[in-house]
Amino acid sequence: MQNKKGDTLFFRTPPSVLGYAAVGGKKESEGPLADGFDVLDTDTTFGEKTWEQSESRMQAICAETALKKSGVTPKELDCLFAGDLENQCTASNYTMRDLPVPFVGLYNACATMAEGLGLAAAFIAGGLAQRTMALASSHFCAAERQYRFPLEYGGKRTPTSQWTATASGGVVLGSVGGPPYVKAVTFGRVIDYGIKDINNMGAAMAPAAAHTLLTFLKDSGRQPEEFDRIFTGDLGAVGSTLLEEICEKEGVKLTNHSDCGLLLYDREQQQVDAGGSGVGCSASVLCSHILPQLKSGKLREVLFIATGALMSPTTFMQKESIPGIAHLVLLGSGK
Amino acid sequence: MQNKKGDTLFFRTPPSVLGYAAVGGKKESEGPLADGFDVLDTDTTFGEKTWEQSESRMQAICAETALKKSGVTPKELDCLFAGDLENQCTASNYTMRDLPVPFVGLYNACATMAEGLGLAAAFIAGGLAQRTMALASSHFCAAERQYRFPLEYGGKRTPTSQWTATASGGVVLGSVGGPPYVKAVTFGRVIDYGIKDINNMGAAMAPAAAHTLLTFLKDSGRQPEEFDRIFTGDLGAVGSTLLEEICEKEGVKLTNHSDCGLLLYDREQQQVDAGGSGVGCSASVLCSHILPQLKSGKLREVLFIATGALMSPTTFMQKESIPGIAHLVLLGSGK
């Protein structure tokens, strides 16, 4: 049995991050993290005819690049965990047509990258696999027409709304290898504070992020300031403030918190309102910004908490509230 | 490390099935497996106002019943794996609002029950959890309006089409307990034979079922006739014939194959065309028909292979082919 306390799994032999890749579109190529991306397609179509095919192609490029950087072939992968935002997760499904690997399809909205990374690490730590991969993506154009309005409609955005990233992140893990390491994972619970505004998903997800973070701190007996940084994704400006307020009410002051939704874009220059969002936002920030700094040793130990809003356009029209979820992964430059 | 051969995980200490439950609607209450169901709501609304809420309520009843029969409280569950067919998997997401358990959301279409059961078993076998649950559902009325036409439209069905079950299945696993046991799992790969007919999903899924079954037989070195029965779900009439044909071409004759889509309903009396389908079909057949016979010892060892068609209405309109996936679980009345 792994060392399990509360909801958190502490891995006795932390799996190694063998490699990772981040792929993005035009807006991501103009953002502050562009240099950390492996591939940027300023056309955003990735040479495909539909936005859905573009997303699959982007994800395939990401998987291929991450594998290449890891020195791992698809044949050597025991299992691949992937998900996205498209209805029926088709971006991942169609990517997997060309990747002959046992496939576990996931859906936890924008928490999918941490969910997949947690599962991929757990499988290795539990002796269920030697090499695994976590993969996730979102595409602005596919998401806008599915969740809000087709781009051609020219709908007006609210100031609390977030910008769905056109991005993909992929991480290859192995039982043997150098840093960074996945040291622990807390799979989150579904938390619903009754938020019903589909243009304010940061507020819907903040309580879940707080719940998972507070659970991990309790399970580990550690303090927030012990970590170089606590990354959430993607609460945006509104949700980040809310997270800090909820934590403070519980007696936990966050002084080293950054949100992936606020890192990926320059909010003022790039007109993304409350920040970035989408499965690909936290996935690509992880692979372009967080993991490289852990690999170089610039960051020693961080928490990566991806957050998801679990509604659909149907439940929104039915006036249901928006449940949130957040999964946490503890990453370190040492074991 | 578990005993892994090829794509198959053979569990050294097979997790125990502590309990299970099947819940269904009106059509399921009139079918040949009705007696095996724990709860049947002949109104099919489960007392809710929308079909989506009905599905969540049905899933919640299923989870509650399975836990009660297992003698396990939600607090004792380490992790719950769940999925469904609704866009953004909202049936599961909303069910989980009232289940305070770490939640891993899944999507592999109608293969989700085997996917979840495989993960739930792997987590226990890998020492990552002591008690887990796999939960899955579909609802005819929610699925019809999402995938095909709203019921009010009165659209005509083709003879190759299948009937989405209004049903849910839930299985609670533990590290310690009596039979039945989950002995092995093969997570499948995405297979695409280029089928484009959305009303003939059995044909789209059959190649994936064949691939996973043949992989397992190779990995285990066993013959099909060594198992009391090989259950697929849900290929229906068309897909079942195709599966048997593909296997025969590979030199494997199936003489003990049953399809969950052909077990749940009386095809002639109940007008379900090519048979039942939907996540809840194989999930509820597992929990109303297969597991009880393993528990009583009537069945000694069976293969449960749930199959999923990984398209969406969007990819269908874009004239994409339908990729398939199948996950296999080896269940036994002894270890």
Domain endpoint, select from A150, A174, A198? A174
What is the number of other CB atoms lying within 10 angstroms of the CB of residue B250? 12
Look up the domain containing A38 and give its range.
3-174
A275-292 exposure pattern, b = at least 16 Cβ within 10 A, e = fewer: bbbbbbbbbbbbbbbbbb
* Same-domain pairing of B138 and B187: no
Q: Which of B103, B314, B325 sits opposite A103 (nearest CB)?
A: B325
pLDDT at A175: 98
Query: Cα–Cα distance between B22 and B38 in angstroms, integer?
Result: 6
CATH code, domain carrying B122? 3.40.47.40
Q: Specify the pLDDT at position B50.
A: 95
Mean pLDDT over B13-40 rounds to 98
Residue where a domain stops, chosen among A117, A146, A174 = A174
| A204 and A127 co-located in one domain | no
Same domain, B226 and B253: yes
Examine the domain organization and report whether B162 and B209 are in the same domain.
no
**pLDDT higher for B333 or A147?**
B333
Clarify whether residues A113 and A227 are in a common domain.
no
Phi-psi region of A51 (alpha: psi -120 to 50; beta: other; left: phi over 0): alpha
| CB of A135 closer than 8 Å to CB of B228 | no
Rounded to a whole number of angstroms, the distance from the CA of B198 to the nearest CA of chain A is 14
pLDDT tier at B17, thresholds 50, 70, 90: very high
CA distances from A18 to A67, A167, A215, B328 (A): 9, 21, 28, 29
Closest to B7 (Cβ–Cβ): which among A93, A102, A122? A102
> Is A164 in the same domain as A40?
yes
Beta-strand pair A16-24/A167-174: antiparallel
Q: Which two tokens stand for residue A286?
A: 């992880």
Give B311's contacts in chain A (Cβ within 8 Å).
88, 90, 93
For residue B150, name the pLDDT band (cuts at 50, 70, 90).
confident
Length of chain B: 335
Phi then psi for B266, rounded to 5 degrees?
-90, 105
**One digit per residue, pLDDT tens: chain A, 335 residues?**
689 999 999 999 999 999 999 999 999 999 999 999 999 999 999 999 999 999 999 999 999 999 999 999 999 999 999 999 999 999 999 999 999 999 999 999 999 999 999 999 999 999 999 999 999 999 999 998 888 777 888 888 888 888 999 999 999 999 999 999 999 999 999 999 998 987 788 889 999 999 999 999 999 999 999 999 999 988 999 999 999 999 999 999 999 999 999 999 999 899 888 899 999 999 999 999 999 999 999 999 999 999 999 999 999 999 999 999 999 999 999 98
Judgement on whether residues B91 and B58 belong to the same structural domain of the protein: yes
For residue B101, give how far its alpha carbon lies from the nearest alpha carbon of chain A (Å): 6
Residue to substitute from A9, A128, A214, A215, interface B, most B β-carbons within 10 A: A128
Half-sphere exposure of B289 (CA within 13 A, CB side): 24
Interface size A-B, in CB pairs within 8 Å, comes to: 181
What is the structure's pLDDT at A147? 84
* pLDDT tens digit sequence for B73-132: 999 999 999 999 999 999 999 999 999 999 999 999 999 999 999 999 999 999 999 999
Torsion sign (Cα): B2, B8, B14, B17:
positive
Shortest Cα distance from B106 to chain A (angstroms)? 4
CB A139 within 8 A of CB A58: yes
Q: How many domains does chain A have?
A: 2
B1 with A130: Cβ contact below 8 A: yes
Question: Does residue A156 share a domain with residue A197?
Answer: no
Q: What span, in angstroms and rounded, lies between the C-alpha atoms of B276 and B291? A: 19
Euclidean distance between CA atoms B186 and B118, whole angstroms: 8
* Residues of chain B with C-beta less than 8 angstroms from the C-beta of A310: 88-90, 93-94, 105
Residues of A in contact with B53 (CB under 8 A): 318, 320
Query: In the listed set A144, A174, A204, which residue is the last one of a domain according to the structure?
Result: A174
Residues A277, A170 share a domain: no
Nearest alpha-carbon partner for A138 in A277, A41, A5: A277
- The verdict on B231 and B153 lying in the same domain is no
One-letter amino acid for residue B236 of the chain: G
Q: How far is CA B287 from CA A12, B135, B168, B304, in A?
A: 35, 11, 9, 11
Q: What is the pLDDT at residue B166?
A: 97
The two tokens of residue A334 are 């040492």
Interface probe with A: pick from B49, B93, B139, most Cβ of A within 10 Å: B93
If you average pLDDT over every residue of chain B, what do you get?
95
Give residue A58's pLDDT.
Answer: 98
Q: Do B108 and B115 meet the contact criterion of CB atoms below 8 Å apart?
A: yes
Can you give the pLDDT at residue A84?
97
Residues B187, A104: C-beta atoms closer than 8 Å: yes
Do A204 and A168 fall into the same domain?
no
Q: How much is the ipTM here? A: 0.97
Instruction: Please check whether residues B150 and B247 belong to one and the same domain.
Output: no
